[in-house]
Amino acid sequence: MRVSILGLIASVLTVQLATSAAAQDLESQEIMVTASRIAFEEDEYEAYNNERPAVGLRRTADFLVQKVTISGDTRDPKQRASEIRTMLNEAVKRAGIAGVELAFGEYILTPLSIANVDELTLMNDNRPDSQRVSFLVKARLSDAQSGIAAQKRIADYIESVPENGRAQMDGSGDASLSVVGPDSFRLQITAAIAEDASRLTTQMGENYAVEVEGLNKPVQWARSGPSEVFLFIPYKLTVLPRP
């Protein structure tokens, strides 16, 4: 989509109609910010611009997300699996009391509960006679709960789950962020682009016009701080002399 500044404001109101059905899939689903949309949807979208644009939407992420792993090395395979599964079930039961939520997935996150906990499969660990299962622990971010407070809540939860036999649960890697419904912020992003283009047109004077290309591209995301994300559309803005 390529529009001049004269049509840009109107385009803000109608740009959603030009997006594909695939792009609208993320209007309500939760995604991991560390995962690239282009990487997971490369068959549908090609990278439009390798650089983030100057204008987008900077906001607090919805959740701080920590990967955790329950591992066990009991020699007997059946007992080892039982110990890990029992600890996993206990971890799921304690989540609500601890004020955290559980999920699984690498791109789009699925809530983890007693109803679907059996979907998590045990994997062989990097040691003989050992197995593990991994999932995600989430703490909501808000004005009332900072990233530091969310991290402590997750750490306290991990400590609260009792070991079972030789099974134990530990955090794995650095905490990440997640956003619910990134595509639902499209109109806010395009409104910011329109406002920026309008200011630029005024600054350049009546002999120039601003052309914006790419507003129909899917919303993308990047981490911009310990608890913040930057949601953007990879548009291109060009200043052209009026004919």
Per residue in 167-222, pLDDT (tens digit) is 999 999 999 999 999 999 999 999 999 999 999 989 989 888 889 999 988 999 99
Q: By the 8 A CB rule, do 153 and 99 touch?
A: yes
Lookup result for tokens 């559980």: 102
Q: Cβ contacts of residue 174 below 8 Å, gap of 6+?
A: none
Q: Residue 180 belongs to what H/E stretch?
A: strand 168-180
Q: Which CATH architecture has domain 63-178?
A: 2-Layer Sandwich (3.30)
pLDDT band at 43 (very low <50, low <70, confident <90, very high): very low
Mean pLDDT of the chain: 86
Average pLDDT over residues 52-81: 95
Mean pLDDT across 7-14? 45
Q: Is the pLDDT of residue 228 over 60?
A: yes
Residue 10 CA to residue 108 CA, distance in Å, equals 32
pLDDT at 6 over 70: no
> Average of pLDDT values for 46-51?
49
In whole angstroms, what separates CA 107 from the centre of its chain? Answer: 7
Q: Tell me, what's the pLDDT at 152? A: 97
DSSP state at residue 20: -
- CB burial of residue 157 (10 Å; 0-12, 13-18, 19+): buried
Over residues 157-172, mean pLDDT: 96
Who wins on pLDDT, 27 or 168?
Answer: 168
Alpha helices in the chain (DSSP H): 5-14, 21-24, 37-40, 77-98, 147-160, 186-204
pLDDT confidence of 21, banded at 50, 70, 90?
A: very low
Alpha-carbon span 88 to 106, nearest angstrom: 19
Greatest Cα pair distance, the chain, in angstroms, is: 80
pLDDT score of 37: 63
Q: Does the pLDDT at position 11 exceed 80?
A: no
Q: Which two tokens stand for residue 16?
A: 């959603």
User: Residue 238: enclosing H or E segment and its boundaries?
Assistant: strand 236-241
Q: What mean pLDDT comes out for the span 14-23?
A: 42
pLDDT of residue 35: 60
Residue-wise over 53-72: b if at least 16 C-beta within 10 A, else e? bebbbeeebbbbbbbbbbbb
Is 141 in contact with 63 (CB distance < 8 Å)?
yes
What pLDDT is stored for residue 192 in this prediction? 95
Q: Report percent pLDDT > 90 for the chain.
A: 67
Quote the pLDDT of residue 186. 95
Q: What is the pLDDT of residue 41?
A: 53
Location of each CATH 3.30.70 domain in the chain = 63-178
What is the pTM assigned to this prediction? 0.82
Report d(CA 161, CA 193) in Å as an integer: 47
